[in-house]
Amino acid sequence: MIKSALAIVLSLFIIPVTVFAQGDSVPTTNSTDGSTSVPSGSSSSPSSTNVSDDEHSKTIRHRDLTIDLGGGIHTDAELTLPALANHSLPALLLIHGLGPADKDHFFPPDIRPFKQIAEYMSERGFVVLRYDKRAIGANSTVENLGLWYNETMDDLISDANKALHTLAKQPEFDKNNISIFGASQGTWIATRVAAANPFVKNVVLMSSAADKIGDLIHTQMVNTTLQFTREVLDVNHDGLLSLSEVAATRNTPYWTLGPLPGKILVDNNSGSATGNFQFIEGLRTGEVNVGNEEKAVKIDTTLRAFLEQRFQSIFVDTKDKSCPYLGVGCPPMMRSFADMDNLSVIGNLNSTGILLIHGGRDIGQPPEQAFMLEQKLLALNHPDHTIIVYPGHGHGLINIGKDSWIDRPGRLPDYLLEDMYSWLTDPDRNWNR
């Protein structure tokens, strides 16, 4: 029997849809028998909210490790374990998303989702390993610019494989119960590491995608930006973007994992908040007059061409070793994984349980991507896979609202951690929130 749960949240699928208010539970439907369970966070469920370090010290042990990545490169890692249990424990490896990330996956001012996951799972009996990316130190600081700039996806896959085998050598872990958690870019790594290591029992893919990464990034940098420009920046919706429209909305919050159109399109000559604006050089040659001698650019031609050029630039090496894609995606990395997809790989995990966790308002990697992976698994009669889509949640699985353009990092909601823990610990997947 195929164990598959489907959270139905999008009306574009030809499936009966129930609309839920933000924060409501979303039913998941077993694909074989139609039974429905409600996954998540009742008040009686165990919670990790606002637990102090002192309280954690009573329930969790820590072990500092160093992982040899090869080629003379080492990185720091930390193992978290239950304070009292010490043998035959399930194990979990955490793999980062894109960008410089330490073992906590630190974001300013003090957001540490990987530490949160590790402590939550270790309190409940798991051995959890998390590690600094190569060249990265505490608080996601780049410690070796050359090493960081030149890393590729093959490097990260190799590093994760070495971390997995480091975890497997720990005496407390149950050799028959090791799982991998990958977030965003880490999902492309997790699927490949799991496929190469058949002893991996489960894979949790958070904010994953089916398509090639290069195609997804093109959509983010061009199509999504054009959509935002039409809906937000182009106030009178005439297909033209005027200087006054950009100036009026230049501080409008926008998807934080993508470009900020108002800020990248204009220069402020005077340097003041109310000074004279002009389109940047790449747009100036396509200006048109729109009355009162005001300048504008055509969204679907001039702006599109400019955004296409920006997309191409993320693959071109920079002399100063800067990283054009969001400031965190360096050209060698972008070139190395542009043609990588998950759709062609996920079917190789034929003996591995797979949990897909996705935000219903993930702007960069929309939930259709997760549904494509689910459909692939169904087509292959994969024996153990589950998908949960959380309405109104963004790429980082924070509840941002179903219409929001603002995506941001934050503390993971407890109900997501509860769902993941329940799924990992119930081999029959007969779990409820």
Please report whether residue 330 resides in a domain.
no
In whole angstroms, give the CA distance from residue 426 to residue 207: 22
Q: Token pair of 33, please? A: 């028998």
Q: Quick one: 402 and 421 in the same domain?
A: yes
Among 296, 325, 354, the domain-final residue is 325
State residue 9's pLDDT score. Answer: 26
Among 273, 295, 325, the domain-final residue is 325
Please report whether residue 64 resides in a domain.
yes
Torsion of CA 388, 354, 133, 89, to 10 degrees: 110
In whole angstroms, give the CA distance from residue 82 to residue 380: 37
Share of the chain above pLDDT 90, in %: 62
Number of separate domains in the chain: 2
Q: Quick one: 176 and 148 in the same domain?
A: yes
Please report whether residue 335 resides in a domain.
no
Please report whether residue 433 resides in a domain.
no
Among 325, 357, 377, the domain-final residue is 325
Q: Quick one: 158 and 236 in the same domain?
A: no
Q: Quick one: 109 and 82 in the same domain?
A: yes
What sign for the dihedral angle of Cα 408, 55, 39, 6?
positive
Residue 300 has pLDDT above 70, yes or no: yes
Please report whether residue 271 resides in a domain.
yes
Q: Quick one: 134 and 72 in the same domain?
A: yes
In whole angstroms, give the CA distance from residue 395 to residue 402: 12
Please report whether residue 27 resides in a domain.
yes
Please report whether residue 430 resides in a domain.
no
In whole angstroms, give the CA distance from residue 194 to residue 192: 5
State residue 293's pLDDT score. Answer: 76
Position 276, amino acid? N
Q: Quick one: 316 and 183 in the same domain?
A: no
* CATH number (domain holding residue 120): 3.40.50.1820
Which region among 79-83, 242-246, 268-272, 412-416 has the lowest average model confidence (pLDDT)?
268-272
Q: Quick one: 97 and 22 in the same domain?
A: yes
Which region among 24-33, 225-234, 339-348 has the lowest average model confidence (pLDDT)?
24-33
State residue 253's pLDDT score. Answer: 62
Range of the domain at 314: 215-325
State residue 269's pLDDT score. Answer: 63
Q: 411: buried, middle or exposed (CB in 10 Å: 19+, 13-18, 0-12)?
A: middle
Please report whether residue 336 resides in a domain.
no
Of 78, 68, 150, 431, the residue nearest 318 (C-alpha): 150
Q: Quick one: 239 and 359 in the same domain?
A: no
Q: Quick one: 192 and 259 in the same domain?
A: no
Confidence of residue 263 (pLDDT cuts 50, 70, 90): confident
Q: Which residues have CB under 8 Å from 207's CB, separation 6+?
A: 97, 183, 184, 187, 357, 358, 359, 362, 365, 395, 396, 397
In whole angstroms, give the CA distance from residue 54 to residue 59: 9
Q: Quick one: 20 and 145 in the same domain?
A: yes
CA-to-CA separations, 229 to 179, 206, 239, 393, in angstroms, rounded = 41, 28, 9, 22
State residue 259's pLDDT score. Answer: 53
> What is the pTM assigned to this prediction?
0.84
Q: Quick one: 284 and 396 in the same domain?
A: no
CA-to-CA separations, 348 to 157, 170, 171, 343, in angstroms, rounded = 16, 27, 29, 10
State residue 52's pLDDT score. Answer: 52
Cis amide prior to 383 (ω within 30 degrees): no
Gap between the terminal Cα atoms of the chain: 22
Query: Going by DSSP bridges, is the β-strand pair 240-242/295-298 parallel, antiparallel, or unpaired?
Result: antiparallel
Q: Quick one: 159 and 197 in the same domain?
A: yes
Of 184, 178, 156, 182, the residue nearest 166 (C-alpha): 178
The DSSP 8-state label assigned to residue 348 in this structure reads: G
Residue 63 has pLDDT above 70, yes or no: yes
pLDDT tens-digit series, residues 106-147: 988 899 999 999 999 999 999 999 999 999 999 999 999 999
Q: 297 near 240, Cβ under 8 Å?
A: yes
